[in-house]
Amino acid sequence: MDDPRSPVGKYRIPFNKPSFAGDENHYIADAIARGHISGDGHYTKLCHALLERDLGVKKALLTTNCTHALEMSALLTRCGPGDEVIVPSFAFVTTVLAFVMRGAKPVFVDVLPRTLGLDPAQVEKKITPRTKAIVALHYAGVACEMDELLAIGARHGVPIVEDNAHGLYGKYKGRWLGTMGALATQSFHETKNFTCGEGGALLVNDAKLVERAEIVREKGTNRSRFLRGLVHKYTWVDLGSSWLPSDMVAAFLWAQLEARERIQARRRAIWERYDRELDGWARSIGATQPKVPADREQSWHMYHLLSRDTAQRERLIDHLEQRGILAVFHYLPLHLSEMGRTFGGKEGECPVTEDISSRLLRLPFFNALTEDEQTDVVRALHEFEG
């Protein structure tokens, strides 16, 4: 249901459409002309430098996607068989799967209704001597309770991994999302604010993990040290895989990152217009609009509503579909998924997740959504009377 690529042709206004900043073709042609199209070429380095400079992170490494950056995080936090990782049940599959791939057991925790991010009180209760990581997903680019989570992590010596796929350029008490955990992951999938089709990044904030992050991304070799002239031959030193995107992909991403202010300004305008124009209507049908706590700044990633109940959400989806508009929902609670149940997930274990999952609805939201298209979506919603 939440596959945004589902029958787009059927819809006048799709849920998502990849949007172009303008210079993608130009930079890709240039990457080709430069004669270095594998990983870590000119454009990859430009993207790394931009992210490191903007965010002030120790190391930014482009990856083939966010899932792979999460898999790198599982390796870097040394998750393995017999270990546990604390994860939200209200999450994307690979937020959890990346750690399960290393043999770790997911320990599902519920989210807070206020942010749809991890509930710190429950996180602390689930920590055991086997806990290797806590994964904090900043849902819709609205920060989790980071002060509390970082304090819990520090108390128990457990690193925080931020799944920041939604949250690039969001802030928590003045700090950029993605800069607070030991590690953070970004996605540049075509449904995200900035895209190169499929892409991602690992942000490394813990200086002790920088060197090993480079190694695991370079097939378990110390090739990065070799390229910097620190060793005179490179060799196999650790686990790893090949997680570098081609420089043509990085060239595409560079065009988008260069336009980051324009893209974020457009997304903000879309978000604020939905919020303003749906205000009275949402209240009249008993639906709830998102509220961002005053001490955080969101990343303008999505606009979602909470319907009164599941039946109302179904009617809303049908109502919009009849008018050629695709609205979608996610996430199905992971603790109740087929895989989640094999780890002991049971009904009633994460009540907020179970409730939110049955009522959340996401409206069409992409950089190229036109004013007229948004007018149509708003008008269609206003025609829905409950």
Ligand X SMILES: *Cc1c(COP(=O)(O)O)cnc(C)c1O
Residues at the interface with ligand X (CB under 6 A) = 65-67, 92, 94-95, 137, 163, 165-166, 187, 189, 200
- Nearest residue (CB) to ligand X, 164 versus 222: 164
- Nearest residue (CB) to ligand X, 135 versus 380: 135
Cβ of residue 198: shortest distance to ligand X, in angstroms?
A: 6
- Nearest residue (CB) to ligand X, 193 versus 312: 193
Tokens of 251: 């060239």
Tokens of 267: 């997304």
* Strands 183-187 and 304-306, sheet pairing: unpaired
- Nearest residue (CB) to ligand X, 36 versus 171: 171
- Nearest residue (CB) to ligand X, 95 versus 312: 95
Considering only CA atoms, which of 104, 68, 35 is closest in space to residue 218? 68
Residue 61's φ and ψ, nearest 5 degrees, are -130, 120
* Strands 171-172 and 296-297, sheet pairing: antiparallel
Considering only CA atoms, which of 302, 303, 308 is closest in space to residue 282? 308
Cβ of residue 333: shortest distance to ligand X, in angstroms?
A: 15
Residue 133's φ and ψ, nearest 5 degrees, are -165, 155
Residues 152/153/154/156 CA torsion (nearest 10 deg): 80
Cβ of residue 189: shortest distance to ligand X, in angstroms?
A: 4
